[in-house]
Structure 1
Amino acid sequence: MSGSVAGPDCCGGLGNTDFSKVARWEHKTRRLSKAFGSPYLACYSLGVAILLLNVLRSHCFTQAMLSQPKMESLDNPLAYCLGLVLLGVGVVFVLSSFFALGFTGTFLGDYFGILKDARVTTFPFNVLENPMYWGSTANYLGWAIMNASPTGLLLTAVVAFIYVVAILYEEPFTAEIYRQKASRLHRRS
């Protein structure tokens, strides 16, 4: 698969940084919203593409782990339980983030002009900044530990790095979108 478009995404690239670039382009031009006839339909389409690539990334991650030797020091019941706990924590953060943000909030809806009244600050956002990214990282780390996979640990580090880049790329832009919204509301009142 390394020669296909799936190759780079197995480490998180297309599902994060590249789609943030697409979303910024949409915010600037509104071309996707015009092409799809609605910002909601355009956002849903981008969200489905991101979801599908995340499924592909997870599949590639699992295949890479299973095709490599195990790390003997991690191949024990205690490590397996630690991995299971990390996986559980990750699932809680990912799902609670999704429920707090909704589909459009999760999949860059603010770039399409689909804004919440304010940035979400309830659980899990009151516990952790970017809980979707860190929950996903915990999922990969837990899965790698459960499979005693040094390859999984390395790929988890790559995914975490890609998420850090995505956060550095997305956070200021999202903050600016909400600052502009607050400024417009303040001028109206």
Structure 2
Amino acid sequence: MSFYSFIESLSTLVDFSKPSLYISLLSIAANPLGWNLIGRNEYKNQTLTKLIGARVSSTILGTVIFFAGLLRDVLYRMALHDQPHFPLPYAIQTGLSWMIFGTGNLLVAASYFRLGFYGTFCGDYFGILKEKRVTSFPYNIMTNPMYVGAVLCFVGAAFWYERPAGLLIALYVHLVYSIALHFEGPFTEMIYQNRGASSKKDT
């Protein structure tokens, strides 16, 4: 199959003329970009911490991240409804979609339960650190279960609404989160290493 024929066949599955598609993609990328920029600035300069304190600042940022995530999900559903609809067999549309969506939500909920509010919503950037690394479920089976769970939720919704475009968006979500993790992972490791080094100096 040539590149042009591939694009032609793809255009029957995805309507690239719909603004809602690009608004959804923008909202997906804006979330991790926003919390990484704000979090890194806070860790280095303590801009908000100096004004209103670490816990209040972290709580406000966490709340903003939570509602931004809800808005992202709403925009994703709106984008799906503007895309071509391809009916699926009931077993796939309902059974498979709920299995994928349920697994995704389980990973997200379990991750939140293990990390807590501050562990989930960038508390480490504000100096609110956990005593030790979380290794129980779901962190005993994967490194980033919250991100994996989020991607699965996008995939499950794509099957539920029977929109192939949703799978393309889910792939984009995976790409965005992979890029975010490339920066977040080493930075978080550095924060905890610095905490460990400080503790040794104090003893």
TM-score normalised over the length of structure 2: 0.85
SS at structure 2 position matched to 1:41: helix
TM-score normalised over the length of structure 1: 0.91
Distance 1:38 1:56 in 2: 27
Indicate conservation of the 8 Å contact 2:25/2:169, yes or no: no
- In the alignment, residue 174 of structure 2 is paired with which amino acid? A
In the alignment, what sits opposite 2:55?
40
- In the alignment, residue 17 of structure 1 is paired with which amino acid? L
Deviation, structure 1 residue 164: 0.6
Indicate conservation of the 8 Å contact 2:97/2:160, yes or no: yes
Cα displacement string for residues 135-161 of structure 1 (whole angstroms, at most 9, x for unaligned residues): 011111111111111111111111111
Specify whether residues 30 and 2 from structure 1 end up closer, same or farther in structure 2 by C-alpha distance, changes over 3 A only: farther
Of residues 52, 62, 75 in structure 2, which corresponds to 1:60?
Answer: 75
Distance 1:90 1:28 in 2: 33
Deviation, structure 1 residue 8: 5.3
Distance 1:22 1:76 in 2: 45
SS at structure 2 position matched to 1:120: coil
Gaps of 5+ in 1: none
In the alignment, what sits opposite 2:35?
19
Cα displacement string for residues 76-105 of structure 1 (whole angstroms, at most 9, x for unaligned residues): 122121111010101110001111111111
Larger deviation, residues 106-115 vs 147-156? 147-156
2:86 matches 1:71: yes
Distance 2:134 2:180 in 1: 19
Within 5 Å, give how 1:1-12 maps onto structure 2.
Answer: 9-10=26-27, 12=28
Indicate conservation of the 8 Å contact 1:2/1:8, yes or no: no
Of residues 14, 26, 30 in structure 1, which corresponds to 2:46?
Answer: 30
Deviation, structure 1 residue 66: 1.3
- In the alignment, residue 182 of structure 2 is paired with which amino acid? L
SS at structure 2 position matched to 1:124: coil
2:161 matches 1:147: yes
Cα displacement string for residues 26-80 of structure 1 (whole angstroms, at most 9, x for unaligned residues): 0000011122x210110111111111111111011101111212234xx112212
Q: Which protein is bigger by CA-based radius of gyration? A: 2
Distance 2:99 2:25 in 1: 29
Indicate conservation of the 8 Å contact 2:61/2:121, yes or no: yes
Within 5 Å, give how 1:124-163 maps onto structure 2.
Answer: 124-163=138-177
Distance 1:118 1:9 in 2: 35
In the alignment, what sits opposite 2:96?
82
Indicate conservation of the 8 Å contact 1:68/1:151, yes or no: yes
Distance 2:200 2:26 in 1: 41
2:192 matches 1:181: no
Deviation, structure 1 residue 9: 3.9
Specify whether residues 9 and 50 from structure 1 end up closer, same or farther in structure 2 by C-alpha distance, changes over 3 A only: farther
Deviation, structure 1 residue 18: 2.3
Over the aligned positions, Cα root-mean-square deviation in angstroms equals 1.7
